[in-house]
Amino acid sequence: MIRVLIADDERPAREKLRRWLTEQPGMEVAGCAEDGWLAAQCIERLRPHVAFLDIQMPGLSGLEVAAQPEESSAPLIVFVTAFDEHAVKAFELSAVDYLLKPYDKDRLLRAVQRVRERLSAGPARTAAVTTARAQTASSTRLLVPDGERLQLIDTSSVEWLQADDNYVHVHTAARSYLLRRTLQDLLAQLGEQQFLRIHKSTAVNLGAIASLTPLFKGDYEVELRNGHALRLSRRYRDKLFARMGR
C-alpha cells in the first residue's frame, strides 16, 4: 500500500482529496493535517510514501515542510496550490507534480500515476527535500525532536552545531537536541548567512562568538558568549576571519 499524507488548511480541499485518493487501488490515506506544523509532525510519525502539501499553510509553508524530513525517509512531494506562480518553483524543487486549484479528478489521477512511477524508480525520492532545503536556506525556524514530538525553535537560539557521524547535536542556551542529519546537510538548509563551519565536525552561530585566541599551528580557540570554548581549525580560519572583518 502507498501511504499518503494530505496537508491543506481548507477542510473541503482535504476531504475531496481524501475521497478521491481512497478510491485508488493500492493507496491509503494515513493522515490529514490542517497546517504545516502538524504536517511536519505527521511526516515524522507516519512515514508516508507521498505527501500532498498545500504551499500556503499556517505555521509552516509547504516548502518549509518539504525541507524538514530526513532524506532516508522523506516522502515524495506533490504540491497543491491556488497560485499558478508556484508551479515553476514546484518543479524546481523536483516535486513529483503540482495540482493547481481547482483541479478535477482526471488531473489528480495523472499526479497519482506520476507518484507510482517515481516510487518504482526509487533513487529520486530525496530530490525535493534537498532542493527545498536550498530554497529555504537561512530559515529562521528549525524543527527538532523533543521526546516523542517535534519542537519548533528559532535558529537564532542555536549557538553551535556538533557533528556525530550521521547525527548533529544542536546546542542552544537552554538545552541540546539530536538530529539525524549530517552537518553538511543541516548547514545547507540553514545557510551561511548565520552559521559557519569552523572545524570538520563543528559549526558556530556567528552571533554567538565572543572572542578568538590564537593557539598553535594556525588554530584558534573560539570562545562563545556563554563561555563555551570551541576549536577553530586553520582550514576554516580565513573564511571566518573574512566574515568577521578581520
CA contacts within 13 A on the Cβ side of 38: 13
The pLDDT-based confidence of 19 (bands split at 50, 70, 90) is: very high
Cα separation, 5 vs 42, whole angstroms = 8
Q: Which residue has the higher pLDDT, 139 or 31?
A: 31
3-class DSSP assignment, residue 221: strand
* Residue closest to 38 by CA, chosen among 67, 12, 9: 9
In this structure, of 117-131, 163-177, 199-213, the range with the lowest mean pLDDT score is 117-131
Domains identified in the chain and CATH numbers: 2-135 (3.40.50.2300), 141-244 (2.40.50.1020)
Q: Which residues contact 83 (CB under 8 A, 6 or more apart)?
A: 55, 56
Question: What is the model's pLDDT at position 4?
Answer: 96
Torsion angle in degrees (nearest 10) through CA of 215, 220, 225, 226: -70
> At how many degrees (to 10) do helices 11-22 and 105-121 cross?
60
Model pTM score: 0.66
Q: What pLDDT was estimated at residue 35? A: 92
